[in-house]
Amino acid sequence: MDKLELKTVKPGHVDLSSLIEKLDGYLSGLYPQDEIFGVDLSDPKSEEMTFVLAYWEGVPVGCGGIRRIDERTVELKRFFVEPAMRRQGVARQVFRYLEQEAEKQGCTVMRLETGAPQFESVNFYKKQGFYEIERFGEYVNCESSLCMEKVLA
């Protein structure tokens, strides 16, 4: 993974927007539009989030972000790796970076929302130490939402 570089970026970064567009395209094949919980990158509140991009030989191949839920909890958002780069450690490195960032911010819990049709994602999250929890926040009434949590070190 010597060729992988991680960079923290602002919400308006063109490479972040491009990867999120690909993520949304993928999700639209699995869920109705009203069950895709994105992040409005033009919303000033998105500036409070931390986003990271993964570059392989200068090409953007993965992204993810965290947003604060409360003083001790962050939510993992917009986590995506290009299909051709999956199973090569990119997701793990992006996740570890965001996990460390959450810990630096004093957080002790990370939550996320995904869905059962994303079985590869669910398996990845379980391998990272996440476990299923009750739906929370904006996902409470969304039957397709599968929420997970991890206690940070």
Q: 2-58, pLDDT tens digit by residue?
A: 689 999 999 989 999 999 999 988 888 777 777 777 776 677 777 788 999 999 999
Structural contact between residues 124 and 150, judged by C-beta atoms closer than 8 angstroms: no
pLDDT category, 110, cuts 50, 70, 90?
very high
Average of per-residue pLDDT across 134-153: 93
Q: How far is CA 131 from CA 18, 33, 134, in A?
A: 30, 26, 10
CATH of 4-110, one of 3.60.70.12, 3.40.630.30, 3.10.270.10, 3.40.50.300: 3.40.630.30
Q: What percent of the chain has pLDDT over 90?
A: 74
pLDDT band at residue 113 using 50, 70 and 90 as cut-offs: very high
Tell me the whole-structure pTM to 2 decimals. Answer: 0.89
95 in Cβ contact with 105 (< 8 Å): no
Residue 145 pairs with which residues in a beta bridge?
Answer: 115
**Domain ranges (residues) in the chain:** 4-110
Q: Which residues pair with 147 in a beta bridge?
A: 113, 133
In 3D, which of 34, 28, 54 has the Cα closest to residue 118? 28
The mean-pLDDT minimum among 27-36, 77-86, 107-116 falls in 27-36
Distance of CA 101 to the CA centre of its chain: 13
Decide if 84 contacts 78 (C-beta within 8 A). no
Contacts 24+ apart (CB under 8 A), 43-46: 46/11
pLDDT computed for residue 150 by the predictor: 98
